[in-house]
């Protein structure tokens, strides 16, 4: 049985207790809690980062327990539902990985800013919190293969007919977040567009919704939820395909482990690959990202 998190507030500081679940046990999700159904009639697409025909051998040795560190306020990856249960993509991913490894696992919720320190102090074994890899992270921690990508994408009004190419967008106003990697990408790869830089994602997206610009370019994951949420008012849809530039948008979401624990990294990489080729990661993606951001 899953222990419910005990959350107490003292002087504005959240104190989180560890949550453990037995191997193979799933958390039931009621119909009211499930992500909304996909709004497209196209066949659903989910990314696969490994060769589907590969069957790697399980690393030698055993991993009998994993203490995952995650953040409890990061939907759709990990968050508390109305009943106080921890749910989300990363919660389900941890369960899948532990099932593949045959390991007993615990989930510890901590503020995002404390995750790396907790791993360094050996209060946990792996950070599963939607970490985007960059040079700073690689200097301090080791990481697994990517389990999700972080592409950039254009969105435009549904009534708009445009090609999301440098030629198709030439002369059009494109909203971006000022100082972001997405702004830098548009400026370098789309030299003939007219860039409208806004201070934050909300105002940049609202500019598109309100017809002030022809398109918006930003983080594909966040945009997939904006398009299906109330804020967009059903105005828009993805335009063109995903722009995958690891040097600009990051190397994808990965699990971080201590550099002193290469054995755990090898086992997690194996479990990720096995779960992906068995279709389990695809099922999770379609469950938590009903509007594919690829």
- Whole-angstrom distance, CA of residue 272 vs CA of residue 262: 15
Burial 179-205 (b: 16+ CB within 10 A, else e): ebbbbebbeeebeebeebebeebeebb
143 and 258 share a domain? yes
Q: Are residues 40 and 136 in the same domain?
A: yes
Token digits of residue 60: 């030698």
Check whether residue 182 and residue 145 sit in a common domain.
no
Q: Categorize the per-residue pLDDT at 131 as very low, low, confident or very high, splitting at 50, 70 and 90.
A: confident
- Is the same domain home to 66 and 185? no
In a domain, 156, yes or no: yes
Range in 25-34, 83-92, 174-183, 236-245 the model is least confident about: 25-34
| Domain match, 125 and 270 both | yes
State the Cα–Cα distance between residues 139 and 123, nearest whole angstrom. 20
Instruction: Please tell me the distance from the alpha carbon of residue 35 to that of residue 32, in angstroms, as a whole number.
Output: 8
Q: Is residue 33 reached through a cis peptide bond, with omega within 30 degrees of 0 on the bond before it?
A: no
pTM over 0.85: no
For residue 54, give its domain range: 8-149+250-288
205: tokens are: 């997206």
Q: Please report, for the domain that includes residue 177, its CATH number.
A: 3.40.190.10
Q: Specify whether 97 is located in the same domain as 236.
A: no
In this structure, are strands 104-109 and 65-70 parallel, antiparallel, or unpaired? Answer: parallel
245 phi/psi in degrees, rounded to 5: -130, 90
Residues 6+ apart with CB under 8 A from 131: 137, 143, 253, 254, 255, 256
Q: In whole angstroms, what is the distance from residue 235 CA to residue 75 CA?
A: 23
How many domains in the chain? 2
Residues 33 and 130 both lie in one domain:
yes
pLDDT band at 3 (very low <50, low <70, confident <90, very high): very low
Residues 137 and 276 in one domain: yes
Q: Tell me: do 24 and 91 sit in the same domain.
A: yes
Query: Within this chain, do residues 198 and 258 fall inside the same structural domain, yes or no?
Result: no
pLDDT for position 102: 95
Confidence of residue 34 (pLDDT cuts 50, 70, 90): very low
- pLDDT of 33 reads 36
CB atoms under 10 Å from CB of 62, counted, come to 12
Residue 216 and residue 87 in one domain: no
């Amino acid at each position: 049985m899953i222990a419910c998190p005990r959350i107490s507030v003292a002087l504005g500081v959240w104190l989180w207790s560890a949550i453990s679940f037995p191997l193979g046990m799933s958390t039931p999700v009621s119909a009211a809690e499930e992500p909304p159904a996909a709004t497209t009639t196209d066949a659903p697409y989910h990314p696969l980062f490994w060769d589907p025909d590969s069957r790697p051998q399980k690393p030698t040795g055993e991993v009998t327990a994993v203490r995952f560190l995650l953040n409890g306020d990061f939907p759709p990856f990990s968050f508390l539902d109305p009943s106080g249960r921890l749910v989300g993509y990363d919660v389900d991913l941890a369960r899948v990985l532990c099932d593949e490894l045959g390991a007993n696992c615990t989930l510890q919720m901590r503020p995002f800013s404390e995750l790396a320190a907790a791993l360094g102090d050996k209060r946990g074994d792996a950070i599963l919190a939607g970490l985007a890899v960059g040079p700073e992270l690689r200097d301090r921690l080791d990481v697994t293969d990517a389990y999700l990508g972080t592409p950039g994408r254009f969105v435009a009004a549904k009534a708009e007919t445009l090609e999301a190419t440098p030629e198709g967008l030439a002369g059009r106003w494109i909203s971006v977040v000022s100082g972001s990697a997405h702004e830098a990408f548009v400026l370098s790869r789309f030299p003939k567009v007219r860039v409208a830089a806004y201070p934050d994602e909300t105002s940049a997206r609202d500019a598109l919704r309100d017809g002030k610009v022809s398109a918006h370019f930003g983080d594909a994951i966040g945009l997939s939820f904006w398009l299906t949420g109330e804020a967009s008012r059903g105005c828009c849809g993805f335009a063109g395909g995903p722009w995958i530039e690891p040097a600009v948008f990051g190397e994808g979401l990965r699990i971080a482990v201590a550099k002193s624990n290469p054995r755990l990294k090898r086992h997690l990489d194996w479990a990720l690959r096995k779960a992906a080729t068995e279709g389990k990661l695809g099922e999770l993606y379609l469950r938590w990202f009903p509007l594919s951001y690829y």
